[in-house]
Amino acid sequence: MARSKLPSAIEMAAFVASWWRAYGRDEDTLRALDRGDVTPLRIDGLALDAAVKTHYRAWQLIELARDKAEPLTPESVQVILQADGDRAETDTLWRQRVLFVQPLARHYRFPPRTSKILLEAAALVGLVNAPRELLPEGRDAPPAVQLVLANTPGQEIDRATRGPQSWNAEALVYEHGGMLIKYGDDGVPIDVARAELSEMDSRTSDVWRLLVAKTLESGLDDDLVSITVQPGELALAMGFKKHHKGGMRAEDLVKCAEAMTRLERLWLRVTVDVTGTGVTHPDLPGEHIAALETETKVIHVIRRGTARTVNGQRIPRYWQVALGSWAKVWPRSFAPLFRSLVELPANNAVAVWSKQVGAELAFLWGLRARSGEAQRVTISELLGNAMLLHEVERLRGRGELGVAVERFGKTMDQLREKGVHAGWAYDPVSFERMAVAERTRRYFQAWMDAVLVIHPPEAVLRALAERVLTPPTWDV
């Protein structure tokens, strides 16, 4: 049975708060949840967004106990225990789906098909009695991790699809990290292509990551696996709200379709090693060549479902998609996909910075932080790779460098709350240089050169380590 889509973090926190309020939780904590602060739901060893989901699922089980489970008398519980011989009491009851529910202060027999996810969440939070292996040693179990490609093309496609700022708008070309990506397609007028590119935003990179993650989940072998995605599926994955009458809002479906169109217009120039294959130069008979330069589509749309009209635009009911042949050329390396970042909006400055800086930290964890050691990276390197230096320069030109520095701090704090990193700080020497240069013209360069010390999230690294990954590399 397919799992239902979880509500937003704020809605899940409100659900938990409604139960906490009924059972006398302190008012300060309840007020924090009411205003959207979910930090009271932290659980050691879990990212904050995973902790919120765990609390929500735990209290879903309590709601299930109240509404559908069978309350048992102490005598009934004793009969069950006596029938199972010498087995430990909690183990016996757990196997029988008989649990002591702490908030309701009695034993309940749950339906046989009660979700294991709900049961384990309630055990983790301490709302039900559970076998020893679930408590408390299991409380730091790593969250499930989806993967995206972190090799050079994977990174540069991700960066290129965050917006038009790093593109040559005249030539419709993106060049960075040794990669060249072109925008356009046969039959698409150049002015139409420029208009499409000018409206690209970070939602396009969100769709890119979701396509790659779904492809990798479908198979990690050498064959190019095609996947099928629907507009509504993408909209849900990106955290768009459902329409109050059901289904996804029309404008959000259109955004997903537009992102797919932009991805389909991308071409990656690749150089293929053909040493030893016998390929000869076309103008120099007998002269063997070592490499061929060619262009390949970033994605191939193999098939489209029947189109329907949504908000005056024709969009397909589904796309059957495969990664381009470039995906077979480069050695594969992987980074985690943080769904909490994909679900952030694209119309809020801190959220957009979080998406883009968070993507770079994910690459960092996948490629350089496998040992679990804190990573050191300069502000200029991190913001440069995140494609945000143009925004910093824009703010600086308006005399608002302080806004950029403050926004960066808020971004890093939000990323910690989302479980993307486990803590950050300026290197002490860099911090001192920034303090000395404050309120002078030297401050901008001192900030750009400042070294950050960022700690990887242990739970994510453990989950990554369980996957069979190609040895990581920054280079082709």
pLDDT digits over 46-56, tens only?
Answer: 777 888 899 99
What number is the average pLDDT over the span 456-467?
Answer: 69
pLDDT for the residue numbered 145: 61
What number is the average pLDDT over the span 197-201?
Answer: 93
pLDDT for the residue numbered 285: 56
**Alpha-helical segments (H) within 302-378:** 326-329, 339-342, 349-367
**Alpha-helical segments (H) within 386-465:** 389-397, 401-417, 428-437, 443-449, 458-465
3-state helix, strand, coil in the chain (%, to 5): 45, 20, 35
Instruction: Identify the CA nearest to 424 among candidates 446, 451, 455, 456.
Output: 455
Share of the chain above pLDDT 70, in %: 82
Distances, alpha carbon 361 to alpha carbons 60, 391, 408, in Å: 33, 19, 14
What number is the average pLDDT over the span 300-304?
Answer: 93
d(CA 245, CA 229): 23
Q: Among the three residues 101, 120, 140, which one is the final residue of a domain in this structure?
A: 140
In 152-259, the DSSP E strands lie at 173-176, 179-183, 227-229
Residue 180 falls inside a structural domain = no
Residue 400 falls inside a structural domain = yes
Domain count, the chain: 2
pTM of the model: 0.66
What number is the average pLDDT over the span 150-163?
Answer: 94
What's the DSSP call for residue 298?
S
d(CA 256, CA 223): 27
Ranges 222-226, 320-324, 451-455: which has the least confidence: 222-226
**Structural domain that includes position 476:** 344-476
Q: Among the three residues 140, 165, 197, which one is the final residue of a domain in this structure?
A: 140
Q: What is the pLDDT of residues 339-397, one digit of tens each?
A: 788 888 888 899 999 999 999 999 998 887 566 778 999 999 999 999 999 999 999 99
Q: What is the pLDDT of residues 9-29, one digit of tens each?
A: 888 888 998 988 876 666 777
Q: Name the average pLDDT for the chain.
A: 82
d(CA 140, CA 461): 12
pLDDT for the residue numbered 236: 81
Residue 406 falls inside a structural domain = yes
pLDDT for the residue numbered 188: 94
Q: What is the pLDDT of residues 240-288, one digit of tens each?
A: 877 777 778 899 999 999 999 999 999 998 765 555 555 454 454 556 5
Q: What is the pLDDT of residues 333-345, one digit of tens each?
A: 888 888 788 888 8
| End-to-end C-alpha distance for the chain, whole angstroms | 41
Residue 40 falls inside a structural domain = yes
* Contact (Cβ atoms closer than 8 angstroms) between residue 346 and residue 202: yes
At residue 442's C-alpha, the angle toward residues 439 and 443, to 5°, is 55
pLDDT higher than threshold 70 for residue 131 = no
Residue pointed to by tokens 């990290």: 177
Ranges 69-83, 324-338, 412-426, 460-474: which has the least confidence: 460-474
Q: Among the three residues 122, 140, 158, which one is the final residue of a domain in this structure?
A: 140
β-pair partners for 227: 321
Residue 115 falls inside a structural domain = yes
d(CA 256, CA 239): 12
pLDDT higher than threshold 60 for residue 218 = yes
Q: What is the pLDDT of residues 56-103, one digit of tens each?
A: 999 999 999 999 999 988 777 777 776 654 444 556 677 778 888 877
